């Protein structure tokens, strides 16, 4: 099989429904973090704050965002679930998208949620809820309306020359 035949057999890019599936799961988890964070008192010390259910769940979410940001959106656990369980039951995607914008969006989610978690751990009241709420809004917009705020930020930063576009397959 030639390289051209391989490219035709497996078109470049990702199924855009995969990240939307992941964002649906993420938005539910973030909503749980917000609800827990609103009902829990701020712990007296670092250990007490770190062991609160909202902080523990947000730690898992931060780790998942880190996985997507550094390993790439194609290797994210939600993507694996989507490819194995959901995609085979759907028609093939009508279009594909470059993986760089959703991967960048994972980095933005990581920065927002990690900042909220760190500020919560040092004792800033409401930081966890505010950060989880902001991340929830972004995840929900992508899951429900296919509007990815992190992807839009990526495009804006590329257009202004602040970051370079990830190399696309010709």
Q: Which two tokens stand for residue 63?
A: 């780790």
The CA distances from residue 19 to 122, 133, 158, in Å, are 32, 19, 21
Burial of 106 (0-12, 13-18, 19+ CB in 10 A): buried
Least confident of 12-16, 48-52, 59-63, 139-143: 12-16
Using one digit for the tens of pLDDT, what is the confidence trace for 120-152? 999 999 999 999 999 999 999 999 999 999 999
Query: Phi and psi for 97 in degrees, rounded to 5?
Result: -130, 150
Could you give the CA distance from residue 5 to residue 16 in angstroms, rounded to a whole number? 23
Quick one: pLDDT at residue 169?
41
Q: Give the pLDDT band of residue 10 (cuts 50, 70, 90).
A: low
**Domain limits, the chain:** 15-159
CB 95 within 8 A of CB 44: no
pLDDT in tens, 149-165: 999 999 999 999 999 87
């Amino acid at each position: 099989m030639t390289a051209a035949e391989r490219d035709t057999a497996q078109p470049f890019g990702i199924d855009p429904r995969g990240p939307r599936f992941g964002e649906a799961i993420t938005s539910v988890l973030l909503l749980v973090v917000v609800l827990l964070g609103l009902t829990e008192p701020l712990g007296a010390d670092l250990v007490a704050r770190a062991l609160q259910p909202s902080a523990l769940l947000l730690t898992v979410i931060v780790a998942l965002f880190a996985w997507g940001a550094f390993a790439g959106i194609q290797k994210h656990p939600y993507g694996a679930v989507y490819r194995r369980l959901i995609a085979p039951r759907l028609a093939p995607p009508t279009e594909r998208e470059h993986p760089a914008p959703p991967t960048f969006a994972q980095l933005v989610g990581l920065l927002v949620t990690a900042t909220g978690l760190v500020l919560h751990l040092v004792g800033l009241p409401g930081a966890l809820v505010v950060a989880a709420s902001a991340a929830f809004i972004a995840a929900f917009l992508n899951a429900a309306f296919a509007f990815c705020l992190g992807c839009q930020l990526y495009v804006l930063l590329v257009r202004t020359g602040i970051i370079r576009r990830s190399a696309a397959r010709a």
